[in-house]
Amino acid sequence: MRFKRLATVAAACMASLCGALGMVATAHAEPPIKIGQSVVLSGPQAANGLLYSQGIKVHLDAINAAGGVGGRKIELITLDDGYDPARCKANTKQLLEQDKVIALFGYTGSPAIVACAPMAEAAKVPMISPVSGTPELQEHAGRYLFFTRASFRDELRAMIDYLTTTGITSYGVTLQDDSFGHSALKIVEELLAERKLPPPVSAPVAQQTYEAGASAAAISKAAPQAVILATGGKASVNFIRDYLKTGKRAQFLGLSVVSSNQLVQELGKDADGIIVTQVVPSPWARKTQIVRDFYRELGERKDVEISYFTLEGYIAARVLVEAVRRAGPDVTSERLVQAMESMRKLSLGGYEVNFGPGVRAGSSYVDLSMVRSDGRYVQ
């Protein structure tokens, strides 16, 4: 009986001790590293933002499942801005002032980034891997803005270099009536002038609704051999549909933000033959280590759609995590900036990023692909 009482007391003490240790462990659990994201997740421009976010999640989920970085999980606080710069500014204010994030990451859309990058600069918080190739942003990025994708100038130069070799001399440009669209049009005009070719005929799609009938009608009258789409999401789909209705035909070319997966899904056979510039390797060709890593971390997940944008999001997350690692255990916004600047010719296995003091455009990788109606991309 005495032995039983002793055993009971011992068990009670052990349970109490374990509980206390558990409370201590919980009390001393490392706080998460808070990162903020405002991204397009709704509305007619949502396709790219959704895919980009899926790719980001593949890597961050894998890192957190393995215990995080230095024992700290990365908490990505994601807010939808619907491609509205005003909403993006409100989201950014919340992320900086209420959520106290140490970095802004994975923003999408040139207008939103134009609106919010000065907020990051004022707060001295880095904005890492926004989806924009607008040269004005990349060339005047300031200290806190870091791009991991090529610029639209790089993409358009590759596009026009290719078309020149095929004998195309007349161009049209349909554009979103925003900073992205107008920047792309200006670049096309400059590149054509360099080659002593006539300026392109151009017309914007309607803001907000992205109705493209008027743009298609205006450009088809000039019957250019090639039409460059300075558009994304629904605007691209609408323009091609309306242009084909005019009975005219042209070689359509889209920038990497054209939402090529959406073109295939919504246009079917009419998407066949569209040329798209890409700023990351093919996510279907497992020839590079970065793509093999992506599939390894993806595993059996069914909630991720394979696309160039998904792989771009994955690469962006790899860059973010590498910066957090380099920043050390007491990671701060300033240490993240220094960590990003230390990434000189960092190879991720088939994709290289290169930053440094004053160097904020981390990649110039561009490839050309042709969309096929069955969803394949031919390099």
Q: List the CATH number of the domain containing 353.
A: 3.40.50.2300
How high is the pLDDT of residue 28?
55
pTM of the model: 0.89
Decide if 374 is inside a domain. Answer: no
Whose CA is closest to 316, among 198, 195, 147, 177? 147
Query: Which of 278, 305, 321 represents a domain boundary (last residue)?
Result: 278
CA distances from 247 to 212, 223, 235, 236, 240 (A): 15, 10, 19, 18, 11
Tell whether 137 is covered by a domain: yes
In a domain, 370, yes or no: no
Residue 24 included in any domain:
no
Amino acid at 143: R
Same domain (yes/no): 191, 257: yes
Domain that includes residue 236, residue range: 153-278
Please check whether residue 315 is in contact with residue 352, taking contact to mean a CB–CB distance below 8 angstroms: no
Closest among 151, 99, 82, 90 to 119, alpha carbons compared = 90
| 179 plus 71 within the same structural domain | no
Instruction: From residue 231, give the alpha-carbon distance in Å to each of 83, 131, 222, 234.
Output: 13, 14, 20, 8
pLDDT given at position 190: 97
Residue 373's pLDDT is 79
How many helices (H) and strands (E) in the chain? 13, 14
Residue 297 and residue 234 in one domain: no
Q: Residue length, the chain?
A: 379
Please check whether residue 227 lies inside any domain of the structure: yes
DSSP secondary structure code for residue 72 in this structure: B
Round to the nearest angstrom and report the end-to-end CA distance of the chain. Answer: 82
Instruction: Return the H-helix or E-strand segment holding 299.
Output: none
Q: How many domains does the chain have?
A: 2
Q: Among 262, 278, 294, give the residue marking a domain's end.
A: 278
* Contact assessment for residue 42 and residue 80, using Cβ atoms and an 8 Å cutoff: yes
Per-residue tokens: 54: 């899926």
Q: How far apart are CA 234 and CA 107, in angstroms?
A: 19
Angle at 130 between CA 126 and CA 132, to 5 degrees: 135
Same domain, 202 and 272: yes
Instruction: Decide which of 278, 311, 332 is a domain's last residue.
Output: 278
Mean pLDDT by 10 residues, the chain (379 residues): 43 47 52 97 94 98 97 98 97 98 96 95 97 87 94 96 96 95 96 97 94 98 98 94 97 94 92 96 95 97 95 98 96 98 96 95 96 84
- pLDDT of 7 reads 46
- Does 358 share its domain with 253? no
Task: Output the six-digit token pair for 12.
Answer: 């009670």
